Structure 1
Amino acid sequence: MRNILAVILTLYCINVFSQNTEVELIPKPQSIELKTGTFTIDKKTTIYFESEFEIAGNFLNDFLQNGAGFSLKKASEKKADIIFKNDASQPSEGYFLDISDSKIVIKASDASGAFYAVQTLRQLLPPQLEAKDSTKEQSFTVPQLMITDFPKFQYRGMHLDVSRHFFDKEFVKKYIANLALLKMNRFHWHLTDDQGWRIEIKKYPELTKKGAFREETLIGHYEDKPQLYDGKRYGGFYTQEEIKEVVAFAATQNITIIPEIEMPGHAQAAIHSYPELGCTGEQIPVATTWGVFEDIFCPKEETFTFLENVLSEVMPLFPGEYIHIGGDEALKLRWKNCAHCQQLIQDKNLVDEHGLQSYFIHRIEEFVNSKGKKIIGWDEILEGGLAPNATVMSWRGLQGGIDAAKQNHDVIMTPVSHCYFDYYQSENLDEPTAIGGFLPLKKVYSFNPIPAELNQEQAKHILGAQGNLWTEYIPTEKQVEYMVFPRILAMSEVDWSGPSKNFEKDYPDFFSRVEGFMKRLDALDINYANYLYEIEGEILKENGQVFYELSTPTKGKQIHYSINNSEIQVYSKPILIEKDSKITANVFKEDEKLGRDFSEEIKYHKGITAEISINIPPNPAYAAGGKEALINGISGSNKRYGDKEWLGFWGDDLEITIDLGKDTEIHSLETRFFNSPGVWIYSPKELSVSCKNSEGKEITYSKEILVEDSNKIDVIVDLLETKSFKTRFIKLKIPNYGMIPDGLQGAGHKAWTFIDEIIIK
């Protein structure tokens, strides 16, 4: 009943919230009622809380002490100005915050709810308090209001990979503290991988003596040819005492840490330390580059003994219920060629190597469960049969999560399409090198962790969502923050407030709050990416005409633009496009230019006003532009396959039909494909185009595609090497590359096809 009342209150109060410019909270509360007046906090303000709310009360006192130089004196419940009350009617992690002219009352049923109420109160206080000893002011006001709030999802997480690049304990604590500000409650700490083992295991000292260090590191991108290295030894690890220190700090921030110990794949650093753990027994190096490697843990008894001993030291360090065991990207080539593995498959009556991985995960889960913990694994643990009590992190898309939820397993949604913060966040070419893809703030905010394919009962297994930060291309603390902020703001709101029900209305409101929130990030000395004043462009088509629409997400700004170097104008309506055009634009506020220059080139070809259909929709992760992106006159990035102009299809054979509306003379038809084997993207081996000329005769052309450089990004195909003719309908057939061969990144998986603009002249 209280949830229904909260929803009613939300509907009643939402206009008050959105119209008020002083209250800019992230994540947005479920309901808020703003009153007239303020409450003053100063040295005379007193506080009351019982031991169950000690974390919240101490946090508020420490915050004021660090920011303003004073803390609140304790008083009795009757006399105190800020009062914490236990209220069993509040939902788990929820709270009621009432700020009047005389008191602040916080009601919660548990310590978490009280803590999150304090985080809301913190955001109502001036941003400069975030900076230690930043102000000598001794009096602060907060608006009078009432907030009823609770999280949509119980799991609200953020991940950090410290194996590819290492970050010391002080930065990890800062990272955790930033999660607490945004009401996140899980920190996923990726501690082991091919490029470095980062946690001390006293029974196996070679793991940190040898496995924590690599001899050198790749310079530039994995796809660059030739690959270059820096020649510098690199590494680091956390002692168990440092781990305890970080865990204790996380407890003060109401954060539970989930450690990840990768198995059976991503084990090269461990096998380097103890070669007998691999199938060959040979000495191998700690990986110096990125990707997926053939050497994985061999499922021998001594390997299981090793892993159980490792986990026996890891589990007591982390009081949370979960241990993450990875399970992803385990190439099976070594197992296929290993006599022991093949015999084990026969002895255990397993179908194949996928069944062997399932056996591996089952054994580890039984051991972890025996110690009172649960396992989480990436969605590959579904292959060969899911371990009985496992929770699945669905990363390759939503399907793994859908399958697991339908099997009554708990799921954390973290698909690459919306949750991988190592992807580019802007199409600007001066962005720091990233792994690839394109994930802007807007797309993170659009994420709904609950797939439409699940019924109400199955949807209960979706515990929440998590943002991931893999650090292959992120060597510094500043760059970590740059990649995380502000996208984490959107993820926190999806997790806490819930996915948007009216995106066109909710996103501008969220974006305006992000603009105000930047002052707090500045005070916290967070190196965020500032794309508040970027311009977005979109092709519109109406009655056979083509227009180009410009927009910027921040309110109260003007766009000034020029087309084909014409006089600069103030943008007021979509621009008519009748020929090849180059548009340049900037965002202005009161004649002050904000943000970066924007430009777009539009090629006005004969297909731009056509109708297009595709036999299968693009993968949801790479479908931002929809089918119209293939004939909108705009080409995709030469470096980033994840922008809204490239369409991605996973393992599908394509048939694309273009209707020009009438018989049209065409001279050429050209398209291009992305080819990047390191990220499972392959140009098709062949394709064909067919059409009927004005006499009704079918004309078909086939084209073999030869990619001489296996890492060539831009594969251009001119499909018509003949004289011109007239046609109305054009059909392209594009077979998928097929399965990725053994020995290559993504071996055994379907290849991706990425296609760009189809240009008809």
Structure 2
Amino acid sequence: MSFKKILVLSVFISFLFNCKSEEYVAETPKIIPIPSNLTIHKGYFVLDHGVGISFDDNFKVSGDFLRNYIQNGSDIELDDNSDIQFILDETIENAEGYQLNIEPYQITIRAKTDRGAFYAVQTLRQLLPLEFENRTLSDEQISIPCMTVTDAPQFQYRGMHLDVARHMFSVDFIKQYIDAIAMLKMNTFHWHLTDDQGWRIEIKKFPKLQEIAAYRNETLIGHYSDQPHQFDGKSYGGFYTQDEVKSIVAYAQTRHVTLIPEIELPGHAQAAIAAYPNLGCTGESIDVATKWGVFEDIYCSKDETFEFLEAVLDEVIPLFPSEYIHIGGDEAPKTHWKACAQCQNRIKSEGLKDEHELQNYFITRIERYLNSKGKQIIGWDEILEGGLAPNATVMSWRGTKGAIEAAKQHHNVVMTPTSHCYFDYYQSTNEDEPTAIGGFLPLEKVYHFNPVPSELNTDEAQYILGAQGNLWTEYIPTESQVEYMIFPRILAMSEVVWSQNDTKNYADFTMRVEHFNKRLDALNINYANHLYEVLGNVSKNNNQLEYLLSTVTEGKVIRLTMNGDEPNFESRVYQNPIAIDTTKMIKAAVFHPETNEKLSPTFTKHFNYHKAVGKTITIDKTPHKSYAGSGPDGLLNSISGSDSRYGDKEWLGFWGEDIEITIDLNEEVEIHSIETRFHNGNGQWIYAPEKVKLELDNDLIINNLTLRDSLIISTQFDVNQRSRYVKLRIPNYGIIPDGRQGAGQKAWTFIDEIIIK
């Protein structure tokens, strides 16, 4: 036995005697994602000079990572003995599973593969002091609590996406992004490299992709919904050389992260067509897109285009050892195909029904080529249109319908619906949030995402490979903002795809996030900290609506005012629900109970009390489960939704459906006016109806909605009559027209508070 082990054993024996009859209690480690099973034992392993790490070539990546992490993060000098030992264990069923056993005299990591051992190391990493992350550790002896962790992932695909076509980021930052993925036991980086606004990968055979397609003349200022559009007048662009790509791929392999490149086709091709106009249907010269959206210039289906794409893929394939190449397949308007003689001839010669089947032909032809090179395709759920390519994997983003359809056809699926996985959405109702594309996706909603649709049976569910968080960067120009948008939501996603459902608990998760934020501080990672924000919720008590305030972290105090003043440490402490019985405004904030430090921004809520508040409401259609707000009752709770974020508690969303809303006021009352409003974010497929019909007990009124370029469209009926019932008939806008984002798809209808005065 080594001197170190004798010393540790002596310390442990002394600890036992000193404990006398008191029960040993150790703090439960705050690990993200939470492991399947963790048991704490008595004692500590002491990490100090002379500790050794032992592993063979089976565990080279994980062993090297741990050795470098300890040596680079501290002044501890390691030996080559077996104090920390990696052991090959073929009995572990899951290839990415592991057992981490920490004893007073030894740490053992058992795994079937290097990947499993690597994830054990990431768990061990979270048991070490935060100072290892930024080399500020002053201690030369670290005590690690003894425990056994047995763990394995729930899903095999655990991914994060990053769009570099709209805004691109340095090679060093891409590697840091991969570090974050690996730290959280995720294993896939989906790298979106080409789009209408820029081509970001060097293709040596086609130099104009670097000279022209990689640069746009200017960039849209503000939000796409702002009218009129304004631009910055500055050239923007760049690309990653093949040597840089090789460097990033090699780096990812040292983190057991697989890179999947995305080369968009047949749509989102305007940048490539700007460089080579012959690839389009018209042959006309166009510019790289300077604003966001969906564009009609897509690849033509002529042989010349396929020769180009095959040559591009011939250079892409050797750079990425992954099984998959992502080919996009989304948002491809068929306008030019309908007018193109060559595309129409292709439809006839191949016996196709229409342009949708031409898209299937296009994708299937690319799939055959990639299959011949030993690769599989993965694409957005539009690749289902016109029939699914034989071996394709579907990435379901437009809700779960595509996933269900693909899984029932026994195709593999990766879940990434906008409702739970789009990290470019707003994550707080705080008005100071940076500009985002729209929507509302708070941390809690990500955490409660279940990647397996309930419509699938057990056999079909096995085709759900996992899930992925997506970050599109139209409104994210800096690396710091990338971090802000993904952290902490990536923490929730890591638990969605790794942890077993019976181990998950949101209150416990937020406590672990609060602790994990300190690690992010040490890593100098920017993150959104909304843990201390005030949350509000409406409830009904004996037919009286009440407003409840809360905050997700424990041990904090909420203080509030009702006179318009900013809350401070002397403001009243919130204790009881607030009655919704008059028009009023409250302001509240979270404070530390001991220091009285204000921890949150001020939460402001306006209550516009009216005659229908709390009354009975029915809707003949069920709101879409992804945008159910507070249910139908949320339209009569005196609270209006956000002016910019259609996914909050107050907006109700319906996809492609006419709706009929009936309000029972319980008795006949004098009504002077009825008003409501609709979201009109066309860039997110949301369209206000063109008219609304109002029916009272004795009258019918039709209002036509104008101001079609406004993000929010309000409508008001001036009636001045008595009625008990109020009925609103709201027709859906219909099919989104050509040239618009989501062309050919059903439009969404989003409705807010219905105010009756």
- TM-score range, shorter-chain basis? over 0.9
The reply on whether 1:372 has 2:374 as its aligned counterpart is yes
Note if 1:584 corresponds to 2:587.
yes
Alpha-carbon contact 1:106-1:114 (below 8 Å) kept: yes
Give the counterpart of 2:609 among 581, 600, 604: 604
* Preserved contact between residue 614 and residue 656 of structure 1 (Cα < 8 Å): yes
Q: By how many angstroms is 1:210 displaced?
A: 1.3
TM-score norm. by structure 2 comes to: 0.94
Structure 2 SS opposite 1:148: strand
Alignment of 1:460-539 (within 5 A): 460-499=462-501, 506-539=505-538
In the alignment, the residues of structure 1 paired with residue 202 and residue 714 of structure 2 have an alpha-carbon distance, to the nearest angstrom, of 50
The 5-angstrom pairing of residues 45-444 of structure 1 reads 45-75=51-81, 80-90=82-92, 91-131=94-134, 133-444=135-446
Cα RMSD (Å): 1.4
Matched, 1:725 2:730: no
The amino acid across from 1:663 in the alignment is E
Cα distance between partner residues in 1 of 2:344 and 2:290: 30
The structural deviation recorded for 1:26 is 0.3
Q: What is the deviation of 1:22?
A: 5.0
Task: Name 2:700's counterpart in structure 1.
Answer: 700
Post-superposition CA distance 1:569-619 (Å, at most 9, x none):
211221223211211111111222211111101112121121211111112
> What percentage of aligned pairs have identical amino acids?
58
Structural mapping, 1:438-457, within 5 Å: 438-457=440-459
How far off is 1:722 after superposition? 2.6
> In 2, are the aligned partners of 1:446 and 1:500 still within 8 Å (CA)?
no
Q: What letter matches 2:690 in structure 1? A: K
Helix, strand or coil for the counterpart of 1:606? coil
1:624 Cα shift?
Answer: 3.0
Q: Identify which of 710, 713, 717 aligns with 2:711.
A: 713
TM-score, structure 1 normalization: 0.94
Aligned residue type for 1:755? I
Q: Secondary structure at the match of 1:596?
A: coil
Q: CA deviation at 1:565?
A: 4.8
Alignment partner of 2:370: what SS?
A: helix
- The code of the aligned residue for 1:711 comes to D
The structure-2 alpha-carbon separation of the partners of 1:686 and 1:189, relative to structure 1 and needing over 3 Å to count, comes to same
2:542 is matched with 543
2:699 is paired with a residue whose SS is strand
**Counterpart amino acid of residue 456 in structure 1:** T
Q: Distance in 2 between matches of 1:96 and 1:228?
A: 56
Q: CA deviation at 1:688?
A: 1.2
Q: Deviations over 1:496-518 (max 9, x none)?
A: 0045687xxx1110000000001
The separation in 2 between residues aligned to 1:222 and 1:437, in whole angstroms, is 14
Q: Counterparts of 1:740-755 in structure 2 under 5 Å? A: 740-755=736-751
SS of equivalent to 2:536: strand
Q: Following the alignment from structure 2 to structure 1, what is the Cα–Cα distance between the partners of residues 77 and 446?
A: 38
Kept in 1, the 8 Å contact 2:692–2:730? The answer is yes
DSSP-derived class of the 1:737 partner: coil
Secondary structure in structure 2 of the residue aligned to 1:41: strand
Matches within 5 A, 1:635-674: 635-674=640-679
Give the alignment partner of residue 620 of structure 2, picking from 581, 591, 615: 615
2:696 and 2:723 in contact (8 A); partners too: no
Question: Is contact 1:328-1:381 (8 Å) kept?
Answer: yes
1:706-742 alpha-carbon deviations (Å, 9 max, x no partner): x23x3202211112x2322131x22211000111122
Paired with 1:488 and 1:312, the residues of 2 have a C-alpha distance of 33
For residue 723 of structure 2, what is the amino acid of its counterpart?
K
Deviation at 1:92, TM superposition (A): 1.5
* 1:214 Cα deviation after fit: 1.0
What is the CA distance between 1:318 and its match in structure 2? 0.6
The CA deviation at 1:71 is 5.0
Contiguous gaps of at least 5 residues in structure 2: 1-24
Instruction: Specify the code of the residue in structure 2 equivalent to 1:601.
Output: H
Query: For the residues of structure 2 that align with 1:610 and 1:166, how far apart are their CA atoms?
Result: 51
CA distance in structure 2 between the partners assigned to 1:534 and 1:337 by the alignment = 54
Higher mean alpha-carbon deviation, 235-244 vs 656-665, is at 656-665
Matching residue within 722, 734, 738 for 2:734 = 738
Alignment-derived partner of residue 752 in structure 2: 756
Distance 2:579 2:646 in 1: 28
Alpha-carbon distance between aligned partners in 1 of 2:638 and 2:27, rounded to the nearest angstrom: 40
Read off the aligned partner of 1:731 and give its amino acid letter: K
Rounded Cα–Cα distance in structure 2 between residues aligned with 1:500 and 1:236: 46
Give the match's secondary structure for 2:272: helix
| 8 A contact 2:28–2:40 mirrored in 1 | no
Letter in 1 for 2:606: E
Q: Does 2:675 align with 1:676?
A: no
- Write the deviation string for residues 216-273 of structure 1: whole angstroms up to 9, x where unpaired: 1111111111211111111111111111100000000010000000000011111111
| 1:634 equivalent in alignment to 2:634 | no
Offset of residue 130 of structure 1: 0.7
Q: CA deviation at 1:140?
A: 1.6
Q: CA deviation at 1:113?
A: 0.5
The number of equivalent residue pairs is 726
Cα drift, residue 744 of structure 1: 2.3
Q: Per the alignment, in what secondary structure is the counterpart of residue 600 of structure 2?
A: strand
SS at structure 1 position matched to 2:676? strand
Letter of the aligned partner of 1:701 in structure 2? Answer: I
CA shift in 2, pair 1:69/1:274, >3 Å = farther
The CA distance in 2 between the partners of 1:484 and 1:500, in whole Å, is 25
Asked if structure 1 preserves the Cα contact closer than 8 Å seen for 2:166 and 2:473, the reply is yes
SS in 1 for 2:602: strand
Partners of 2:755 and 2:40 lie apart in 1 by: 55
Residue 152 of structure 1 contacts residue 498 of structure 1 at CA under 8 Å; is this kept in 2? yes
Secondary structure class of the residue paired with 2:455: coil
Task: Tell which deviates more after alignment, 610-619 or 309-318.
Answer: 610-619
Q: Is the 8 A contact 1:449 1:499 kept in 2?
A: no
C-alpha distance in structure 1 between counterparts of 2:209 and 2:250, whole Å: 24
Partner Cα separation in structure 2 for residue 388 and residue 745 of structure 1: 28
Verify: 1:553 aligned to 2:552, yes or no. yes
- The CA deviation string for residues 361-383 of structure 1, in whole angstroms up to 9 with x for no partner, is 00000010111110000000000
Indicate if the aligned counterparts of 1:61 and 1:71 stay in contact, CA closer than 8 A.
no
1:745 deviation in Å? 2.4
Deviations 1:165-208 (A, max 9, x none): 01111110000011100000000000111111111111111111
Q: Which structure 1 residue ranges, 5 or more long, are not aligned?
A: 1-18, 693-697
Q: For residue 6 of structure 1, what is the aligned residue in structure 2?
A: none
Does the 8 Å contact 2:273/2:286 carry over to 1? yes
Residue 446 of structure 1 contacts residue 499 of structure 1 at CA under 8 Å; is this kept in 2? no
